[in-house]
Amino acid sequence: MSKSNKYRFGTKAIHAGVEPDSATGAIMTPIYQTSTYVQSSPGEHKGYDYSRSQNPTREALEKSIAALENADYGHCFASGLAAIDAVIKTLKPGDEVISTNDLYGGTYRIFTQIFQDFGIHFHFIDMLEASNIEKHITEKTKLIWVETPTNPMMNIIDIKTAANIAKKSNVLLCVDNTFSTPYLQNPLDLGADLVMHSLTKYIAGHSDVIMGALATNNKELSEKLAFIQKASGAVPGPQDCFLVLRGIKTLHLRMQRHCENGAGVANFLKSHPKVDKVFWPGFKSHPNHDIASRQMHDFGGMISFSLKENSVAAATEILKKFELFTLAESLGGVESLSGHPATMTHASIPKAERDKIGLSDSLIRLSVGVEDLEDLIQDLKQALS
């Protein structure tokens, strides 16, 4: 059931791509820890010749990811960044990319510090008004890159409007869907050509694996990506694919709880006297709440907030007091994490640039986990006291 719309999300999370093992009947996909496969005569084999090209454990995962994103094709990579690397390698020197300006730091780094040197030009623009994209399209534009919600400001970009502009201009639209997961948002259904995931985050969900994925309905694009996957070789190993397959089986349950806890934490913070602003797309007062309501099924567990006492010291004091919101990079695991963008993930962005997008010195980002909400609120209470 690769592209079966017959089943709902939770059923697909458990069953899609996963068949009892043809050799043994094992219900769970075995970890095919092999680099190569027997050939009965030269070039004759059972569909697998070398694990860089394909491996049965990876294949099950790729089918599962494709099914979750309502896609015909899925491709997995050694990391989210390796997936991004593959997308940009479909371009040629002289091509132009229009990208969200409020972008995951690693994506910004590979665009500007690797691919710019290969003659690909990147334009980082404000997409809060998605119609803004159109002004920046030239005959050299080949790709629009959208991340929504953005990190760490939780801005929402209108995927449908971006997709309409892309179609009209004959340009591909890729959406980094890491923050939302396919449980909350399905960019291909909204008109995007390609979806990218850091599986490292919510999809694997247990902070124990690094992996990335791409999904598309475009056969030609899928073939190009499969070629790059094989030719460049940034593929994940079968053990890691098994871990992600296991994680996916509870994706819908985890996401439901992430959303419930996210709403609880956002509302608690909003009413706290020491908190200045809370950035979460679920609030009616969020500038693009209407678009979020239209394109997302719920609002997720990623929240940023700033303090009335706007300083690094004030934020640090709270971060040090947390008992449950562990201070660490990354997000999307079952456990709650906290981060300080100004000194951690976004430290390489100059302060003036940070201030422009509202990323203040006191901004704290939370990845709200699936613990008991009352305990999370209690931890926030004691840390803010």
Ligand X SMILES: *Cc1c(COP(=O)(O)O)cnc(C)c1O
User: Which residue in 32, 73, 104, 108 is the catalytic one?
Assistant: 104
Asked if residue 311 lies in contact with residue 361, where contact means CB atoms within 8 angstroms, the answer is yes
| Piece of the chain touching ligand X by CB under 6 A; list 74-82, 162-170, 182-190, 309-317 | 74-82
Tell me if residue 294 is catalytic.
no
52 carries an active-site annotation: yes
Which H or E element spans position 214?
A: strand 212-216
Among 56, 80, 282, 341, binds ligand X (CB under 6 A): 80
Measured between alpha carbons, how far is 45 from 42 in angstroms, rounded to an integer?
Answer: 8
64, 180, 181, 198: which one binds ligand X (CB under 6 A): 198
104 binds ligand X (CB under 6 A): yes
3-state secondary structure of 173: strand
- Amino acid type, 171: V
Contact status: 105 vs ligand X (CB under 6 A): no
- Contact between 328 and ligand X by CB under 6 A: the answer reads no
Interface with ligand X includes 210 (CB under 6 A)?
Answer: yes
Round to whole Å and give the CA distance between 248 and 9: 11
Question: CB of 192: closest distance to ligand X in angstroms?
Answer: 15
Q: Which residue is nearest to ligand X (CB)?
A: 80
Q: Does 151 bind ligand X (CB under 6 A)?
A: yes
Number of residues this chain uses to bind ligand X (CB under 6 A): 16
For residue 311, which phi and psi values (nearest 5 degrees)? -145, 160
Residue 9 or 202: the one with the smaller Cβ distance to ligand X is 202
**Residue closer to ligand X, measured from CB, 164 or 202:** 202
Q: Is 201 a catalytic residue?
A: yes
Q: How far apart are CA 367 and CA 362, in angstroms?
A: 16
Three-point CA angle 200, 125, 78, nearest 5°: 20
Helical H segments across the chain, by residue range = 9-15, 56-68, 80-88, 105-113, 132-135, 159-169, 181-184, 219-232, 238-248, 251-270, 289-295, 312-321, 351-356, 373-384
* Contact pick of 147, 158, 298, 379 for ligand X (by CB under 6 A): 147
| Span from 101-109, 133-141, 259-267, 367-375 in contact with ligand X (CB under 6 A) | 101-109
Q: Segment contacting ligand X (CB under 6 A): 4-12, 56-64, 79-87, 184-192?
A: 79-87
Q: Using the rule CB under 6 A, which residue among 62, 176, 298, 379 binds ligand X?
A: 176
- Asked if 106 is part of the footprint of ligand X (rule: CB under 6 A), the reply reads yes
Rounded-to-integer distance, Cα 297 and Cα 150, Å: 17
Of 29-37, 172-180, 263-271, 292-300, the segment contacting ligand X by CB under 6 A is: 172-180
Report DSSP letters for 230-286, one per residue.
HHH--PPPHHHHHHHHHHHTTHHHHHHHHHHHHHHHHHHHHT-TTEEEEE-TTSTTS
Q: Is 102 tagged catalytic?
A: no
Tokens of 297: 């099924």
CA atoms within 13 A of residue 78's CA, in its CB half-sphere: 12
Residues of the shown chain interacting with ligand X in the complex, contacts defined by CB under 6 A = 79-81, 104, 106-107, 147, 151, 176, 178-179, 198, 200-201, 210, 212
Catalytic residues: 52, 104, 176, 201
